[in-house]
C-alpha cells in the first residue's frame, strides 16, 4: 500500500540566508510512503500534520536537515514503512526556477 501526499504547500522558516531566518517562505512537500497494510492504515492527514508542524517548529537551516529529520520521525512513528520518498521544494527562492532536494530510503 502507498500513501501519496502531493504538492503540500505551507509557509515556514527555512534557509541559511539572513532574510530566510526572519521571513517565512512557501515550501512544497511531496511524499510517497509505502507500507505493509494488514489491519491498521496510515492516515495521510496525520502525516501531513507531522510534516507541517515539524518544519514550522524546527525552523531548519538546510532542506537536507529537514529531510533527515522527517525520515527519522516518520519511520519511528510508522514502523511498518518499507520505503519512503520525500521531496522539499522552495518555489520562490530563485527568480527563474524552483529548487528542490529529495531523498528515497528503503527499509528492510
Domains contained in the chain, CATH given = 2-106 (3.30.1130.10)
pLDDT digits (tens, 9 = 90+) for 12-68: 999 999 999 999 999 999 999 999 998 889 999 999 999 999 999 999 999 999 999
pLDDT of 10-20, one tens digit each? 999 999 999 99
Positive or negative: CA dihedral 5, 46, 29, 107? negative
Q: How far apart are CA 56 and CA 76, in angstroms?
A: 20
Whether residue 9 has pLDDT greater than 90: yes
Residue whose entry in the numeric block shows the C-alpha cell 508542524:
53
Cα distances (angstroms) measured from residue 43 to each of 5, 50, 71, 102? 11, 11, 17, 22
Task: Give this prediction's pTM.
Answer: 0.95
Beta strand 81-94 with 25-35 is: antiparallel
CB 24 within 8 A of CB 10: no
Amino acid at each position: 500500500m502507498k500513501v501519496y501526499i502531493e504538492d503540500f504547500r505551507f509557509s515556514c522558516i527555512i534557509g541559511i540566508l539572513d532574510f530566510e531566518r526572519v521571513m517565512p517562505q512557501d515550501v512544497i512537500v511531496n511524499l510517497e510512503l509505502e507500507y505493509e497494510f494488514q489491519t491498521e492504515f496510515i492516515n495521510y492527514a496525520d502525516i501531513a500534520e507531522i510534516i507541517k508542524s515539524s518544519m514550522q517548529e524546527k525552523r531548519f537551516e538546510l532542506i537536507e536537515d529537514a529531510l533527515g529529520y522527517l525520515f527519522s520521525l516518520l519511520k519511528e512513528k510508522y514502523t511498518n514503512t518499507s520505503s519512503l520518498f520525500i521531496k522539499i521544494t522552495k518555489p520562490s527562492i530563485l527568480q527563474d526556477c524552483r529548487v528542490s532536494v529529495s531523498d528515497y530510503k528503503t527499509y528492510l
